[in-house]
Amino acid sequence: MPVAVRVIPCLDVDSGRVVKGVNFENLRDAGDPVELARIYGAAGADELVFLDVTASSSDRETTYEMVRRTADQLFIPLTVGGGVRTTDDIDKLLRAGADKVGINTAGIANPQLISDASRRFGDQCVVLSVDVRRSKESPSGFEATTHGGRRSSGLDALEWITEAAERGAGELLLNSMDADGMQNGYDIELITAVRAVVDIPIIASGGAGQLSHFAPAVVAGADAVLAASVFHFNQLAVSDVKLQLAAEGFQVR
């Protein structure tokens, strides 16, 4: 039986506010995360992703109190990422109300974190978040970045994703920096390339601009489609995306 496609709004949080930019830059305010969480939960979102986008680059912890208040609004799964460096950080986030925890920068610095987290909490809790951009230096043409896309890791994205999946990451949040905020469609080439090397669920992120953009991402191999700007600024509704996917023959929740 085919698994239903999940539709997931993303809250990029900076200093207690939801922000959104283009290619990870020129951030503009999109509202209060707690209020937006309540709205999306009521609007039929299947899950919610909360990313503290400056925690790693500012070398600080995720804002646990904000996570707790956000989780209190939700009856759907919540994934939280940003500033996660140790298994104790993951433990704190799960206790604050997260259902899953995204690991990005710290996983690249210390891949053992993914192995340890998977062993301690179960792979269903461990989401590998990778900010990917095209690079002529990488064998696959894609490189993984760190610190909210601010630094090159020197790692080939496909090689890193493959290793992380083998270490026990249970899901992949695949962020295309090239497509981020452009609203020209998901990075189909990237999704296709990643699907060819791992079989864990892929959440496609970056590039959604109109209803016709979601189905191609699923065809390319995404199990879930994530969007931010189009939802925050009321260009599209979660229910519209689900209706469109269903009309194109996909099972939705």
238 vs 253: CA distance, rounded Å: 11
Annotated catalytic residue within 12, 46, 52, 89: 12
| Count of residues making up the chain | 253
Chain centre distance of CA 206: 9
| Per-residue H/E/C for 75-134 | CCCEEEECCCCCHHHHHHHHHHCCCEEEECHHHHHCCHHHHHHHHHHCHHHEEEEEEEEE
Stretch (H or E) spanning 226: strand 224-227
Beta carbons of 198 and 162 less than 8 angstroms apart: yes
Annotated catalytic residue within 52, 131, 156, 187: 131
Whether 131 is catalytic is yes
Give the position of tokens 């990422």. Answer: 81
Pairing mode of beta strands 100-103, 78-81:
parallel
Whether 116 is catalytic is no
CA distances from 220 to 32, 74, 98, 224 (A): 33, 30, 29, 11
Catalytic residues: 12, 131
